Amino acid sequence: MEWRRSLRPRAPLPVLAPACQPRHSRCPREGTQASGSLPARPPRRRPAMARRSSLFIRIVEGKNLPAKDITGSSDPYCIVKVDNEPIIRTATVWKTLCPFWGEEYQVHLPPTFHAVAFYVMDEDALSRDDVIGKVCLTRDMLASHPKGFSGWTHLMEVDRNEEVQGEIHLRLEVVPGTHASRLRCSVLEARDLAPKDRNGASDPFVRVHYNGRTQETSVVKKSCYPRWNETFEFELEEGAAEALSVEAWDWDLVSRNDFLGKVVVNVQRLCSAQQEEGWFRLQPDQSKSRRGEGNLGSLQLEVRLRDETVLPSTCYQPLVQLLCQEVKLGTQGPGQLIPVIEETTSAECRQEVATTLLKLFLGQGLAKDFLDLLFQLELGRTSEANTLFRSNSLASKSMECFLKVAGMRYLHGILGPIIDRVFEEKKYVELDPSKVEVKDVGCSGLHRPLTEAEVLEQSAQTLRTHLVALLSALCRSVRACPAVVRATFRQLFRRVRERFPSAQHQNVPFIAVTSFLCLRFFSPAIMSPKLFHLRERHADARTSRTLLLLAKVVQNVGNLDTPVSRAKEAWMEPLQPTVRQGVAQLKDFITKLVDIEEKEELDLQRALNSQAPPVKEGPLFIHRTKGKGPLASSSFKKLYFSLTTEALSFAKTSSSKCVNELNQWLSALRKVSINNTGLLGSYHPGIFRGDRWSCCHQKDRTDQGCDRTHSRVTLQEWNDPLDHDLEAQLLYKHLLGVEAALREKQRLLSGETGTSSPTDRGGAPKDPLAQLLCVLQDLREAHSSSLAGAPPREPHHLLELQT
């Protein structure tokens, strides 16, 4: 019997992750609000400008790594940390010294972050994973590369003196004395210290050095969140230039104490301020650091830092209204802006611009109209049916992004079981006779090896089974397909049929749909399930070959079994009967898919909006403690959780297979709690066992938390809530970069008509391109005002939408 329960806690939902704070703060207990996008559907109203920082990270590959296993190889993977907080773990690539990952991530993080570090690890099944080396990129280093850091970099040795984390709370003051002033240093507490012992904690104490004297605090056993509340005083010599050094250490009985970090305070500046209190970020001991000699291998990375100043929503309204007006009028209007934006956008920026535009129109409820306009523009300049949507145009890139945003859950429902079966079976599949290796197949019985013909027939049968299962699931999924996706395909189907109405082109509307659904959505997901979150790990060589052949078969079906697709690889011929049968099934599916009327679309969309979609779902362990004192017992219970923007629910059994890593859960929790006005500023990362908290050893159960609640580091996912202002800012920044080309285009258009741009009664130009240039000027002035400290002014040109 399955049971489900909704957790709606009275207290704000805690997020179990440490935070990164500036070096010192006047408000030691104050929590910070996370940046990112809203979980709620309505746009967020921001009263003032906000700084946003994000990192695009692509971990490409490694080479010449050292062998860590007795087999002379390694099993490498990467961990990415932002200010010592782990946020990303790549898949493990087995038995290689030159691994290829090719994984991409978008990370939203606070503008005050310090560094991002990449650790290359060797996975071990029986012992602790080995650290191979690391690459550290500071914020200043990334800011010095406006187009991003890209290339190979040597792995450095991981030095324990550099692996520090956490903050320490100090109160520093200069106390007047009879003969001389005294320097008083109060060591209050610390948080998020590095665990140095095998029990997952440390035994921290603090050494304070000044003017040749050293004093130490007591040792707090088994805690990464110690509290000391101890005060030390030193004689303050006049004109002394020596700094105050505060070092945190982990006490060990047998071995040498471990370094946890240090803080160096400028005493002369303190004498001017007389008093200072706050949380200080622990720094590594650079004087003892060691560097590798370049013999640990290299890592190829692409990292790009993007800093944006997002203005209040009212500043972007003219830009958004102008583009919405263009999309609503479609080809019946002037039709200048979208074609000009595409024309002035370079090929390398087209994907980013397409994603920004699509998300902007999704937030305005005009995604379908925007894509319909792109379809018409693409069809207007296409003369040959066989080249339709084959280029990397704005229409193709926008549609790809649209399917990932709106159809990812649909994709998982169709492909998930098939991909899982391929991974679990691990069968040897090969159709190309020149690549068959009989020794890899094994024996068929009585120790008789399979012949090449038997291998080919067995492989063909395996692929037929997978293809039949996929097409069957697809044909049953018409009602499961999101209404907005069905409506968009309906528009595409109709536009193509109107453009190519002859009998010889009767298959062209179907091919237009399959060019996106099969060739640009299903096939890439089959070949790279890790990148589409269908699996947590990359496939091995045998499974990768099976997936590649299955993707080829799906492409043949998507091409409607044209002679061109058959001629490329003759060894796919054994599957042609199944492919032809699949073509008939696929055409029948598309006919039903696009057969959706406006009323049905609205009803399906209304039903979808009434249910909050899950942000994350998967298994988690609940920790429970029974009893008090030394007789207390602990137990873990596995439950399947589903997190939405409205509630956190759980069940005994899983309704869908989805394995999530801890950092993905933390990222999802931060996103849905970003608008929680009652969010606590601190929490306890441990449990209350017996008569005290396990993290900070405080005996008061109601004691305020010893760690900050909210970290602002989140991973961007396709199902993230939209942030309309951020998308408008990104579009403005792109248009600003091509402003010269836009002005040249406007001059040419004015020259063709032989007249200057007409204006309305308010003096604003009626020409859309001229209006766009005026809007860009207003936004430039608003940004200048915000940098100068003045509030942004209202835009000069208020646009009137034509209905």
| Helix ranges restricted to H, 345-482 | 350-363, 367-380, 394-425, 452-475
The answer to whether 49 touches 792, Cβ cutoff 8 Å, is yes
Element (H, E) at 624: strand 616-626
Q: How high is the pLDDT of residue 19?
A: 33
For 704-717, what is the mean pLDDT?
76
Q: How high is the pLDDT of residue 659?
A: 33
User: Which position has the token pair 């528009």?
Assistant: 491
Question: Which 3 state secondary structure label does DSSP give 227?
Answer: strand
pLDDT at 229 over 70: yes
The answer to whether 192 touches 224, Cβ cutoff 8 Å, is yes
Helix and strand tally (H, E) in the chain? 19, 25
The Cβ-side half-sphere exposure at 538, using a 13 Å CA radius, reads: 18
Of 645, 646, 656, 644, nearest to 618 by C-alpha is 656
Q: How high is the pLDDT of residue 272?
A: 74
Residue 392 confidence class, pLDDT cut points 50, 70, 90: confident
Q: Which residues contact 581 (CB under 8 A, 6 or more apart)?
A: none
Radius of gyration of the chain (CA): 31
Of 53, 163, 57, 192, nearest to 112 by C-alpha is 53
The answer to whether 183 touches 233, Cβ cutoff 8 Å, is yes
Q: Give dist(CA 358, CA 488) in Å, integer.
A: 13
Residue 679 confidence class, pLDDT cut points 50, 70, 90: confident
Q: What is the pLDDT of residues 468-502, one digit of tens each?
A: 999 999 999 998 898 889 999 999 999 999 999 98
Q: How high is the pLDDT of residue 747?
A: 85
Q: What is the DSSP letter of 135?
A: E
Q: Specify the length of the chain in residues.
A: 803
Q: What is the pLDDT of residues 92-127, one digit of tens each?
A: 888 899 999 988 888 888 888 888 999 999 998 888
The residue among 681 and 803 whose pLDDT is bigger is 681
The answer to whether 68 touches 74, Cβ cutoff 8 Å, is yes
Residue 606 confidence class, pLDDT cut points 50, 70, 90: low
- In the predicted model, what is the mean pLDDT of the chain? 79
Q: What is the pLDDT of residues 635-675, one digit of tens each?
A: 556 666 666 655 566 665 554 333 335 667 777 777 777 66
| Helix ranges restricted to H, 518-595 | 523-527, 541-558, 563-568, 576-593
pLDDT at 691 over 90: no
Q: How high is the pLDDT of residue 41?
A: 35
Q: What is the pLDDT of residues 426-461, one digit of tens each?
A: 899 988 888 887 765 655 554 567 788 888 899 999
- 3-class SS letters over 148-183: CEEEEEECECCCCCCCCCCEEEEEEEEECCCCCCEE
Q: Give dist(CA 367, CA 359) in Å, integer.
A: 8
For 173-200, what is the mean pLDDT?
86
pLDDT at 619 over 60: yes
Q: Give dist(CA 109, CA 17) in Å, integer.
A: 14
For 248-265, what is the mean pLDDT?
90
- One-letter amino acid of 157: E
Q: What is the DSSP letter of 36?
A: S
Residue 396 confidence class, pLDDT cut points 50, 70, 90: very high
Q: How high is the pLDDT of residue 523?
A: 94
For 146-161, what is the mean pLDDT?
87
Question: Which 3 state secondary structure label does DSSP give 384?
Answer: coil
Q: What is the pLDDT of residues 317-353, one digit of tens each?
A: 999 999 998 888 876 655 578 888 988 888 888 999 9
Q: What is the pLDDT of residues 271-283, one digit of tens each?
A: 777 788 999 989 8
Phi, then psi, of 156 in degrees rounded to 5: -105, 155
For 715-740, what is the mean pLDDT?
85
For 535-539, what is the mean pLDDT?
82
Ramachandran quadrant class, 84 (left: phi over 0; alpha: psi -120 to 50; beta: rest): left
pTM: predicted TM-score of the whole model, two decimal places: 0.75
Residue 790 confidence class, pLDDT cut points 50, 70, 90: low
Q: How many other CB atoms are there within 10 angstroms of residue 733's CB atom? A: 15
The residue among 538 and 564 whose pLDDT is bigger is 538
Q: How high is the pLDDT of residue 599?
A: 62
| Helix ranges restricted to H, 109-152 | 139-143
Phi, then psi, of 599 in degrees rounded to 5: -65, -45
Q: How high is the pLDDT of residue 10?
A: 33
For 380-391, what is the mean pLDDT?
82
The answer to whether 98 touches 38, Cβ cutoff 8 Å, is no
Intra-chain end-to-end CA distance of the chain, in Å:
55
Q: How high is the pLDDT of residue 779?
A: 93
Q: In what order do the strands lie in the sheet with 149-154?
A: 149-154, 298-310, 50-63, 100-109, 714-715
pLDDT at 46 over 90: no
